[in-house]
Every structure is written in C-alpha cells, then in structure tokens.
Amino acid sequence: MNKSKFNWGTGILISIIIFMVITISTVVFLMNQDVDLVASDYYDRGIHHQEQIDKVNRTNALGKEVQIIPENGFVRFSFPKSIVQKVLSGKIQFYRPSDSKKDFSFALSIDTSAQQIISTDKIDKGYWKVELSWKQDSIEYYKESSFVIN
C-alpha cells in the first residue's frame, strides 16, 4: 500500500494551478465587459479640442441667456430673443454615460419665444448629459449640461 504524501512540490503545483485558473477567469471576464466611450469619435474630438473651447467661450460671451433647464416632464432650451430673427441650425445630443445604446439627438428647432421644449416622458430615468451645438451666421456655439431625469 503506497500512501501519497502531501509535500512542498504538490503544494506549489496546486498553488500555481489555482493562480492560473483565477488569472484566466479574470481575463475572460474582463474581455467580455462592454466599454462605452462618451462618443464614438472620441479621438477625433480630442484633436479638435481647441475649436471646442472656442465655441464654449463664444457661448459664454452671450451671457446666461442660453440655458438648458430640466423641469418636471420636459427639458427647456432657452435662447436670447435676438436669435429668433436670425438663421439658426443646430443639434441637441442626449448622452447616457452608462449605456451608449440609449444616446439620441434632435434637430434644433426653436419657436417664436426662442425656446425648444423636449418631453422626457419616453426618455429613460437616470443621469443624462446634454450637448447643444448650433451655428448662427457661420459662427459655431456650444453648451452642455448634465442632469437626472426622475
């Protein structure tokens, strides 16, 4: 009757096998995780970052007249009254940081009171980032805001 003894060699081998199984399991788990960037053109935006800063500075020079106001059941985008008479084109982009599949956008379409209202009834509850970009007389502007929809 040959009885196998537990010795240092067996202990080291078992430790190495357990370590490798944990390491491989961790790698497989992490490789299957979704990684959502803020935008799909993240690197291109990084290259043009100074242009973005210039747009924000131009918007800030307008004063506090451009506002993104979350309210019960809707989000109000308010502009200066002087903008109503000028040609204005732009986009409102909603970003969901936790799930990029829920991102969506609207074309900018302000009414005679220099506002655009978007209902939040069909928008998922949670944290949202909104980017408002528009062009007026070939000059580009940009404003962003973050809020929680309840």
Return the pLDDT at 136.
85
Query: Residue 88 is encoded by which pair of tokens?
Result: 């204005």
Residue 81, classed as helix, strand or coil, is: helix
| pLDDT beyond 90 at 19 | yes
Select the more confidently predicted residue: 144 or 37. 144
Q: Does residue 1 have a pLDDT over 70?
A: no
Structure tokens at 147: 């809020």
d(CA 53, CA 60): 10
Domains (range + CATH), the chain = 42-149 (2.60.40.10)
Tokens of 17: 């096998």
> Is the pLDDT at 36 greater than 70, yes or no?
no
Nearest to 110 by CA among 46, 66, 58, 50: 66
Is the pTM of the predicted complex or chain greater than 0.75?
Answer: no
Q: In sequence order, what are the residues at sequence separation of 6 or more whose Cβ sits closer than 8 angstroms to the Cβ of residue 10?
A: none
Position 42 pLDDT exceeds 80: no
With the C-alpha atoms ordered 115, 118, 119, 120, is the resulting torsion angle positive or negative?
Answer: negative
pLDDT at position 87 over 70: no
CA-based torsion, 24, 27, 31, 34: positive or negative: positive
Q: Which residue has the tokens 């008479």?
A: 85
